[in-house]
Structure 1
Amino acid sequence: MSVLAVLDPAVAVAHAAVAALAHVVPTALAIVLFVLVVRLSLHPLARAAARGEKARSKLAPKIAELNRKHKDRPEKLREAMAELYRKEQVSPVAGCLPVLVQIPFFSVMYRLFTTPNDLLDHTLFGVPLGLHVGNAHGAGQVAVFAVLYAGLAAVGYVNYRRARRAAAAQTTPQPGAALLPYLSFGSVFFALLVPVAAALYLLTTSVWSATERAWLYRGVPAPAAALAV
């Protein structure tokens, strides 16, 4: 059994949920509503991740001091760091596990909106949800893709600016940190490779993520790496 096949039962459930919504509202709107419901159900995990990141951020000055103090003694540095985390009751990977737990959910939604199925036969303003930009023709179809890409670019820019601020606020620069903010635009380029339904999913979940991070990290710089996802 392939890795993707493992997701089939979950994809079938997601398909049934979107199809049920599509009996009440247009399929494109059903996709948006479905994504919002899933993201809302995952919000507690996002809150847990934010709490972990904030806890680690508070330790940043102490960690920087330990790095300066023991920069030539790696073994002593590891011991001092372990003692600091133990004393503050903070995990060095705080905030990472909730993010990892969300990955299967996003994988299911991605597969649902990129694998050919009856949902993709419906349309968004007359444009088939299964259409790729390379096959678009006519001003109407091109306009729909342009609006989706413009929306993703706008969200990417917001995340880019926030990630730049987060990177600048780091007391200990990390390797490659200067490049992380530019990954905020990754969804725009990825959207060029997927059909309308998946691009609509990307835009919906990206808007949710940007809004959620702005709320959860209000007054505190969100981690640059998280913003780039």
Structure 2
Amino acid sequence: MDLFALPLVATALDAAYRALMGLTDLLEPLAGGASAALAVVLVTLLVRAALIPVGVSQAKAEATRARLAPRIAALQRRHRHDPQELQRATMQLYADEGTTPLAGCLPMLAQAPVVGLIYAVFVHTRIADHGNALLGQTLAGVPLGSTLAGALTGGTTSASVLVVLGLVVLVIAVVGELTRRAVAPGGRLAPAAPPVTAGAGAGPGGAAPLAGAGVQRVLGAMQFASAVVACFVPLAAGLYLLVTVWWTFAQRLLLRRRYPLADSTTPA
């Protein structure tokens, strides 16, 4: 079953196509052959600007969770033999503070429909029974519907195509590394990790297993998920990811100054 054949989704896809085509035509006198790529960049910036309130809420939630860390550690010590009571008490604490452990996922979830539409626009040769003129648009001579994975397996791709597609993925990976370093314990966006205490039955400072070294490595690796995705999506969607990871990194730096994380070793 083709999800994009459903009437509601097909209508949204056609609307996204027409909006991108209209913006592309508007930008053509300024950007020439790169007008469609610039249109994708502008759409990304508009989406991210609309999500600024969500980013502020996320920063506030992260600061609140850091402030609550000692109290959560105390709950874990108190209920270490009763996981259900620990979960209930932890969720009640978050509810009393007006936050949630999942608040950080909101920006990613809010963008998912936009990324999906941009992806779909550049992989369908026909949209709403008409041809897809966007597939003929390029950036530095590379079609916006090209993928790095397809270029590597095609066998006949030129070096310039590989350079452009590879550069997009590389820059996304670099931003992922910057973000990983910034949010890691002791980094610019996170307080230093508290020392390990015996008998807590969890991790550093009696924290939940999520604070363990193994999970920290997993969370660090997740910062590179966008680079992996960019290898398989069309160049247009890769541009969206490129702009959004830079925006996210810069926004987190600015908001962390406004809402600094409390030292988790200090009692709340």
TM-score (norm 2): 0.70
Instruction: Please say if 1:209 is aligned against 2:248.
Output: yes
Report the counterpart of residue 66 of structure 1 in structure 2. 75
Report the counterpart of residue 21 of structure 1 in structure 2. 23
Question: What pairs with 1:68-83 in structure 2 (closer than 5 Å)?
Answer: 68-74=77-83, 76-78=85-87, 80-81=89-90
Question: What pairs with 1:81-96 in structure 2 (closer than 5 Å)?
Answer: 81=90, 84-85=93-94, 88-93=96-101, 95=103
Report the counterpart of residue 150 of structure 1 in structure 2. 170
Instruction: Please say if 1:111 is aligned against 2:120.
Output: yes
* Paired residue secondary structure (1:53): helix
- Tell me which amino acid in the other structure corresponds to 1:131: S
Q: Number of aligned pairs?
A: 220
Cα shift readout 1:130-176 (whole Å, capped 9, x = no counterpart): 22332462332222123212211211211221243359637524163
Alpha carbons 1:50, 1:95 under 8 Å: kept? no
Report the counterpart of residue 164 of structure 1 in structure 2. 184
Alpha carbons 1:39, 1:205 under 8 Å: kept? yes
- Tell me which amino acid in the other structure corresponds to 1:55: T
Residue segments in structure 1 that go unaligned for 5+ positions in a row: 222-229
Alpha carbons 2:142, 2:161 under 8 Å: kept? yes
* Paired residue secondary structure (1:24): helix
* Paired residue secondary structure (2:216): coil
Report the counterpart of residue 55 of structure 1 in structure 2. 64
- Tell me which amino acid in the other structure corresponds to 2:175: V
Q: How far apart in 2 are the matches of 1:206 and 1:97?
A: 14
* Paired residue secondary structure (2:100): coil
Farther-moved stretch of structure 1 (198-207 vs 96-105): 96-105
Report the counterpart of residue 198 of structure 2 in structure 1. none
Offset at residue 32 of structure 1 (A): 0.8
From the CA coordinates, give the structure whose radius of gyration is larger. Answer: 2
Pick from 228, 231, 234: which aligns with 1:195? Answer: 234
Residue segments in structure 2 that go unaligned for 5+ positions in a row: 28-34, 126-131, 194-203, 262-268
Change (3 A) 1:202 1:113: farther
Alpha carbons 2:119, 2:234 under 8 Å: kept? no
Instruction: Please say if 1:131 is aligned against 2:151.
Output: no
Alpha carbons 2:61, 2:100 under 8 Å: kept? no
- Tell me which amino acid in the other structure corresponds to 1:36: L
- Coordinate RMSD, CA, aligned: 2.8
- Tell me which amino acid in the other structure corresponds to 1:128: P
Change (3 A) 1:139 1:104: closer
Offset at residue 205 of structure 1 (A): 1.7
Alpha carbons 1:53, 1:94 under 8 Å: kept? no
Change (3 A) 1:113 1:58: farther
* Paired residue secondary structure (1:23): helix
Offset at residue 84 of structure 1 (A): 3.3
Alpha carbons 2:80, 2:86 under 8 Å: kept? yes
Q: How far apart in 2 are the matches of 1:32 and 1:75?
A: 46
Offset at residue 182 of structure 1 (A): 1.1
Q: How far apart in 1 are the matches of 2:91 and 2:120?
A: 40
TM-score (norm 1): 0.80
* Larger fraction in helix: 1
